Chain A
Amino acid sequence: MTAALSKVPALDPDAPEALWAVGGAAVADGFVEYPLSNRDVEADAAWAERQLAALGVGKGSLVDFIHNYRECGHFWPYYVAAYRLGAPAMNGMATPWDVSRTEMYARRFDLALVMGVAAETVEGLISFGHEPSKVLDQAACVAARGTAVASLAAGGREPHALTLFGPMILISAPDETGAAYDASQWTVEADEAGRLLVSAKADRAARYDRLDTGFTGRVEDGRVHLDPR
Chain B
Amino acid sequence: MLDASRAAQGRALNTSGNGLDYQAANASKWGDQPFLDGIEGAARAEIEAVQEKMLLEQLAWIATRSDLVREIWAKAGVDPLSITSLADFKARAPFMDKDEIRAFRDRTGDPFGGVLCVPRDELTNIGSSSGTTGDSTIFAERWERGYEGPFTPREYWMLGLRPGDYVLEMSTVMRGVGHRISRAAGAIPLMLNHDPNETEAAVELIQKYRPTLFFHLSSPVIYGLERLEREKGVDMVDLFSSFRACVYGGEPIGPRMQQTLDRWGVKVFQFSSLGDSGTIWECDAHDGFHAWEDVGLVEVLKPGTDEPVPDGEGGELVVTALHNKTDPLIRYRSGDFVRHTRVPCACGRTHVRLTPLGRLGDEVVVNGVSVLPRDVWTAVEQVEESSAGLFQIIRPQRELTELKLRVGYEGQPADMDDVARRVADEVEARVGVRPTIELTPNSELIKLGPPHKIPRVSKV
Contacts and interface: CB of A to CB of B under 8 A. Distances in A.
Given A60-B121, A69-B171, A69-B172, A88 B126 contact: yes
- Grouping DSSP codes into helix (H, G, I), strand (E, B) and loop, the B interface class, with mixed when no group exceeds half, is mixed
A190 interface: no
Interface residues of A, number: 49
A39 B138 CA distance: 32
B243 to A, nearest CB: 17
B194 A20 contact: no
B182 to A, nearest CB: 8
B169 A69 contact: yes
Nearest to B165: A10
B176 to A, nearest CB: 8
User: Chain A binding site: helix, strand, loop or mixed by DSSP?
Assistant: mixed
A185 interface: no
Interface stretch (A75-83, A135-143, A160-168, A217-225): A75-83
Interface stretch (A48-56, A94-102, A176-184, A208-216): A94-102
B99 interface: no
Interface string B121-159: 101111110010001101000010000000000000000
Interface stretch (B221-229, B340-348, B446-454): B446-454
Contacts of B191: 21-24, 69-70, 72-73
Interface residues of B, number: 54
B111 A10 contact: no
Interchain residue pairs A-B with the least CB separation, the first 5: A108-B111, A90-B126, A10-B164, A38-B15, A21-B189
26 contacts: A1-B201, A1-B204, A13-B16, A13-B27, A19-B188, A21-B183, A21-B189, A21-B191, A23-B191, A33-B205, A59-B121, A65-B173, A67-B173, A69-B173, A69-B194, A72-B173, A72-B191, A73-B191, A80-B17, A89-B126, A90-B127, A93-B451, A97-B451, A100-B131, A104-B131, A109-B126
Interface of B: 13-17, 23, 27, 111, 120-121, 123-128, 131, 135-136, 138, 143, 163-164, 169-174, 177-179, 182-183, 186-194, 198, 201, 204-205, 208-209, 447-451
Interface of A: 1, 3, 10-11, 13-14, 19-24, 31, 33, 38, 41-42, 45, 59-60, 62, 65, 67-70, 72-73, 76, 79-80, 83, 86, 88-93, 95-98, 100-101, 104-105, 108-109
